[in-house]
């Protein structure tokens, strides 16, 4: 650790406070998004789809419009573990910098690399110091002056850039996997619409249409209810200690409008009754269904009782069930038929009555032959991504403490990269 220097974050950077955007201008849609700590990941990083993100349609102070590459830090504990988390803005001109966030501005680019500072913020030592200096009982928060007092040890600029390059390579591999997952999801959704909404499946040209309760459908197809081909699996698990730790999926873990469940935790004790699910079953978040939290379970585990666990009654209909319950139209139906004003809930007893045009088993098998492997590949990518995150998170403190040789890690990266 030759030439490393001990200093405070305030020697390297300053923190700019955000703007107090008025709630009266928040909306369900718009041109700009007011960022909140809910857009941060606990381990560091940015998620564009957040339940707590708010659109803004009021006057825009240009000094608080964030640009791609800007570094921001969460200064309010909006959700557990997020205080002190940092993120790099992925796109310009869309996100607004509110008062719960700090914009990190490097004092001297010859002394500090912005990407290195991003990873420094996400190190255990820095996060602990930020959280330790926070005040407040109900909602904890920190301030720029307290962040400036955080003690750090930093290497020379060239070493900072090499460290940031190694860690960024892992992040790029993770993003590449996530991009591939999105492509597979889009393909599955598009195929479902083509085959089962527009009836443009292989060989459809030679199959005449006939009248039905849903309008014209291909000859040989039937109108059935969703409940005829899918069921709600209510495997209740009582609260209390578990025999051994098991994967647990809360509603907060299910991503919005993504079939790829890539977040979970391990539970050894349950504070309330839960449900058991099995690999391949669909987890449908029934609270506020308009959040479109519908994902495929990549393993056996436990989930919140506010989840509908959906299973196809027979294998041939599995891909059709996935396509149906994850479609925008079905989620809109679940939203329209939900009960409650403040916390609307979808109801399986209502959803199972939804009529569907069900194909012949031959077409269903053809659809599964295309979509099934895509789902399997998606789940393989989920576990690859989890391993990459785990490796990066283990590597982060060792790099920032100078415990590992950079040339060794750079060689290892060449083997990891595709």
Q: What confidence tier does 81 reach under pLDDT thresholds 50, 70, 90?
A: low
Confidence of residue 304 (pLDDT cuts 50, 70, 90): very high
Q: Are strands 13-17 and 274-277 parallel, antiparallel or unpaired?
A: unpaired
* Banded model confidence at residue 327, pLDDT cuts 50, 70, 90: very high
Q: Which two tokens stand for residue 86?
A: 């940092």
Yes or no: say if 142 and 83 are a contact pair by the CB < 8 Å rule: yes
Average pLDDT of span 371-387? 95
pTM score, two decimals? 0.83
Q: Which of 30, 382, 323, 91 is nearest to 188 (CA)?
A: 323
Q: What mean pLDDT do residues 336-353 have?
A: 94
Gyration radius of the chain over CA positions: 24
Q: What pLDDT does residue 293 have?
A: 96
Give the helix ranges, DSSP H, for 89-156: 114-121, 124-132, 144-148
91 closest CA partner among 109, 63, 65: 65
- On the question of pLDDT at 46 being above 70, the answer is no
What are the residue boundaries of the structural domains of the chain, listed by start?
5-154, 204-364
Q: Is the pLDDT of residue 47 over 90?
A: no
Q: Which homologous superfamily is 5-154 in?
A: DNA methylase specificity domains (3.90.220.20)
* ∠ CA 253-259-263, rounded to 5°: 25
Instruction: Answer yes or no: are the C-beta atoms of 247 and 266 closer than 8 Å.
Output: yes
Confidence band for 24, pLDDT divided at 50, 70 and 90: confident
Q: Where is average pLDDT lowest: 17-31, 247-261, 384-398?
A: 17-31
pLDDT at 22: 84
For 152-180, letters b (16+ CB in 10 Å) and e give: bebbeeebbebbbbbbbbbbebbeebbee
CB-based burial of residue 250 (10 Å sphere; 0-12 exposed, 13-18 middle, 19+ buried)? middle
Fold of the 204-364 domain = Adenine-n6-DNA-methyltransferase TaqI; Chain A, domain 2 (3.90.220)
> How high does pLDDT run on average in the chain?
90
Burial profile 351-388: b = 16 or more Cβ within 10 angstroms, e = fewer: bbebebbbbeeebbebbbeebbebbeebbebbeebbeb
pLDDT for the residue numbered 30? 75
Q: How confident is the model at residue 348 (pLDDT cuts 50, 70, 90)?
A: very high
218 three-class SS: strand
Q: Could you give the strand order of the β-sheet that contains 282-285, starting from the edge strand earlier in sequence?
A: 230-232, 307-312, 282-285, 294-296
Helix (H, G, I), strand (E, B), or coil: what is residue 219?
coil
The answer to whether residue 416 scores a pLDDT higher than 70 is no
pLDDT at residue 84, rounded to an integer: 84
Same fold: 5-154 with 204-364 = yes
Positive or negative, the CA dihedral 393, 39, 134, 66 is positive
Average pLDDT over residues 155-184: 92
Angle of CA points 199, 183, 65, to nearest 5°: 120
Give the mean pLDDT of 157-163.
92
């Amino acid at each position: 650790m030759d030439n490393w220097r001990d200093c405070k974050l305030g020697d390297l950077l300053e923190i700019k406070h955000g703007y107090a955007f008025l709630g009266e201008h928040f909306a369900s849609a718009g041109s700009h998004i007011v960022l909140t700590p809910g857009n941060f990941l606990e381990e560091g990083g940015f998620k564009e789809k957040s339940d707590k993100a708010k659109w803004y349609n009021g006057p825009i102070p240009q000094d608080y419009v964030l640009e791609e590459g800007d570094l921001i830090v969460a200064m309010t504990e909006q959700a557990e573990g997020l205080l002190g988390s940092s993120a790099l803005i992925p796109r310009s001109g869309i996100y607004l910098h509110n008062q719960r966030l700090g914009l990190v501005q490097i004092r001297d680019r010859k002394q500090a690399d912005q990407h290195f500072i991003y990873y420094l913020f996400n190190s255990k030592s820095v996060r602990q110091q930020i959280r330790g200096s926070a005040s407040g009982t109900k909602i904890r928060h920190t301030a720029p002056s307290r962040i400036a007092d955080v003690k750090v040890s930093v290497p020379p600029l060239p070493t900072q850039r090499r460290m940031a390059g190694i860690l960024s390579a892992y992040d790029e591999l993770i993003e590449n996997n996530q991009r591939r997952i999105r492509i597979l999801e889009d393909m599955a959704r598009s195929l479902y619409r083509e085959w089962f909404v527009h009836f443009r499946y292989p060989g459809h040209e030679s199959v005449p249409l006939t009248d039905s309760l849903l309008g014209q459908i291909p000859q040989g197809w039937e109108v059935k209810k969703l409940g005829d081909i899918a069921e709600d699996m209510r495997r209740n698990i009582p609260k209390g200690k578990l025999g051994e730790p098991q994967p647990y999926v809360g509603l907060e873990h299910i991503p919005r409008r993504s079939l790829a469940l890539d977040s979970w935790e391990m539970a050894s004790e349950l504070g309330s009754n839960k449900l058991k699910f099995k690999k391949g079953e669909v987890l449908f978040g029934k609270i506020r269904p308009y959040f479109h939290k519908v994902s495929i379970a990549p393993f056996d585990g436990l989930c919140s009782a506010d989840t509908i666990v959906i299973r196809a009654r027979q294998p041939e209909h599995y891909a059709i069930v996935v396509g149906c319950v994850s479609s925008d139209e079905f989620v809109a139906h679940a939203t329209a038929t939900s009960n409650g004003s403040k916390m609307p809930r979808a109801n399986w007893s209502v959803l199972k009555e939804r009529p569907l045009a069900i194909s012949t088993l031959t077409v269903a098998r053809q659809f599964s032959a295309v979509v099934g492997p895509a789902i399997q590949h998606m789940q393989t990518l989920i576990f690859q991504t989890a391993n990459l995150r785990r490796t990066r998170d283990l590597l982060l403190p060792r790099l920032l403490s100078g415990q590992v040789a950079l040339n060794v890690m750079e060689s290892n990266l060449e083997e990891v990269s595709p």
